[in-house]
Structure 1
Amino acid sequence: MKRLGRIAIGVGIVAVLAYAMVLGAMYFFQRDFQYDRGGRLFALSETSLAQAEQVSIPGADGAVVTGWYQPPSAGKPLIVYFRGNAQSFSREHQRYEAFVADGYGFLAFDYRGFPGSPGEVSEANILADGLAAYDWAAAKGFPIVLWGRSLGSGPATYVASLRDADALLLEAPFDSAVSVAADRYWFLPVGLLMADQFPVDTWIRNVAEPVYVAHGTADSTIGVRHGERVYALAPNPDELWIEPGAGHSEMWEHGLWERAKGFFARAEAKLGR
């Protein structure tokens, strides 16, 4: 019995040490788990965006944010697009091509630490870069609508809570990054470990713009309940579109752009634009 007791104690010590090592790895390498910063910045010549230009947006503390910009046609707004987590914003050039084909302008960009923009990735830098991009776009004088996809739902909502855009569209949003982490790492105290928590559920309460939320029921990256909660907290909700069977990156192919145009048209009509 004494031998079994010693074995049990030994197993317990090993388990505690292993758990401590997991906690340490998650804490010290958390941004490697949280962000996908690989890939490359595409050249505009690799796209059909013949009228767009690559721009450098001055940010906080001397930072420079790289993006693509094209002004809208008369009577259309400018979409400030807050990209998701994977690689560079430029990989989604088909979206921007669809925007401009229908007369919309766009500004899309990489947050610091992603392929197009040098620097360190962090929540503070992502939010600061989002504000810098919005202010740069607002200076152009066009009506502005915001589009936040996945990770981009964080800075898009934050910017909407502090600036005066015409509309906020959130594609596969989370209510907070720490909540998403808790879904995945339920066995870890992620609320204590995470530095970049993106409390969208707090920021959305201060968003005066009309809000459209799109989410798929088969989203295994950010569960659909996150989008439902964000929409429920929006002070000025427009529409919640839940697409049965759609995964995290499948909302576009299920017709998101057509729905987005309808939402933006409603928002602009309410403002008499």
Structure 2
Amino acid sequence: MNDGPAGHVARSTSRPHSETPPVKPLRAYLRTSDGVRIDSVYDPGPVVYENQAPPPSGLAFVIAHGFTGDADRPHIRRIASVFTRYGAAVTFSFRGHGASGGRSTVGDREVHDLEAAVSWARRLGHDRVVTVGFSMGGSVVLRHAALFEDVDAVVSVSSPARWYYRGTAPMRRLHWLVLRPAGRLVGRYGLRTRIHHRDWDPVPLSPAEAVPRIAPRPLLVVHGDSDAYFPLDHPRMLAEAAGDHGELWLEPGMGHAEHAADTELLCRIGDWAVSRAG
């Protein structure tokens, strides 16, 4: 699935010229560095009225959804609406999802999709960007921050720490969906997700291997103790790899990814992001 050597994504050190952020929601198709068209939405947040404190205008949250999600799903719109209390929100559909082009590589080439969205936030005038990823998106934000330098803080929710994990029934079903022709048909017509048929070659940097490369930028790892996909050894492995620059929140009773992230948790993540990157 990879077009080049694992871990050899070019680092981006320059920040595009900043413009005044739009005051209305904006939809655009972005082009990734490997030529895929990505459906993206910019939300500057609610109108600020007299006697209201505006959110930090320079801060943007770039939200990376989980596998089979997309920018128009209600749970993604809900998450974006909470984060606009703290800054602008950029949502997008990963390749192979929703109205985006291409086919899903289940976390490999998706770093280019995220980089296109982060660069868009910079071009729209935001000098501080926090990436927040869920499940597959949680692994993508970790690898992206290890390979690119244009984010200020990273939040990874319900991410795996290592590849090819099949220790739970949901993950065994996911592997069937990705690896079998019948599964990919279910993905395409039942879940609106077009999945690439090729195996990873080479295997990309794992999330746990990526985490040390994020330092010294702050990292927050969030995981539910009732996650049916990835047990608690995954977030603990990520936190151990992060060392002093990482923080681990184990959430009592929380399940997996976007659907399990309630408003109270999202607000705590927003507060954390403002304190670290704001």
Q: Using structure 2 for the length normalisation, give the TM-score.
A: 0.68
Distance 1:156 1:144 in 2: 12
The CA deviation at 1:145 is: 0.7
Distance 1:261 1:194 in 2: 36
For structure 1, list consecutive stretches of 5 or more residues without a partner in the other structure: 1-49
Residue 80 (structure 1) aligned with residue 62 (structure 2) = yes
Corresponding residue number in structure 2 for 1:241: 249
Distance 2:225 2:56 in 1: 35
**Residue among 107, 112, 123 paired with 2:95:** 112
Residue 177 (structure 1) aligned with residue 163 (structure 2) = yes
210-219 vs 240-249, greater mean Cα deviation: 240-249
Asked whether the equivalents of residues 225 and 254 of structure 2 are also in contact (C-alpha less than 8 Å), the reply is: yes
The CA deviation at 1:239 is: 2.6
Corresponding residue number in structure 2 for 1:59: 32
Q: Using structure 1 for the length normalisation, give the TM-score.
A: 0.69
Count residues with an aligned counterpart.
212
The CA deviation at 1:251 is: 4.1
**Residue among 236, 242, 258 paired with 1:228:** 236
Corresponding residue number in structure 2 for 1:259: 268
Deviations 1:154-183 (A, max 9, x none): 2211221122322111111111232x2355
Asked whether the equivalents of residues 107 and 137 of structure 1 are also in contact (C-alpha less than 8 Å), the reply is: yes
For structure 2, list consecutive stretches of 5 or more residues without a partner in the other structure: 1-22, 46-53, 176-197
Percent of residue pairs identical: 21
Corresponding residue number in structure 2 for 1:166: 152
Alpha-carbon RMSD: 2.5
SS at match of 2:109: helix
Corresponding residue number in structure 2 for 1:96: 80
- Find runs of 4+ consecutive structure 1 residues off by over 6 angstroms: none
Mark the structure with the bigger radius of gyration.
Answer: 1
75-84 vs 131-140, greater mean Cα deviation: 131-140
Q: What is the letter of the counterpart of residue 91 of structure 2?
A: A
The CA deviation at 1:59 is: 1.1
SS at match of 1:160: helix
Q: What is the letter of the counterpart of residue 228 of structure 1?
A: R
Distance 1:124 1:150 in 2: 13
SS at match of 1:106: strand
The CA deviation at 1:69 is: 0.6
Q: What is the letter of the counterpart of residue 252 of structure 1?
A: A
Asked whether the equivalents of residues 83 and 267 of structure 2 are also in contact (C-alpha less than 8 Å), the reply is: no
Distance 1:182 1:199 in 2: 17
Structure ranking higher in helix proportion: 1
Distance 2:34 2:199 in 1: 24
Residue 199 (structure 1) aligned with residue 206 (structure 2) = yes
Asked whether the equivalents of residues 214 and 251 of structure 1 are also in contact (C-alpha less than 8 Å), the reply is: no
Q: What is the letter of the counterpart of residue 145 of structure 2?
A: A
Asked whether the equivalents of residues 86 and 274 of structure 2 are also in contact (C-alpha less than 8 Å), the reply is: no
Q: 1:225 to 1:89 in 2, by over 3 A?
A: farther
Asked whether the equivalents of residues 166 and 210 of structure 1 are also in contact (C-alpha less than 8 Å), the reply is: yes
Asked whether the equivalents of residues 158 and 203 of structure 1 are also in contact (C-alpha less than 8 Å), the reply is: yes
The CA deviation at 1:60 is: 2.6
The CA deviation at 1:96 is: 1.1
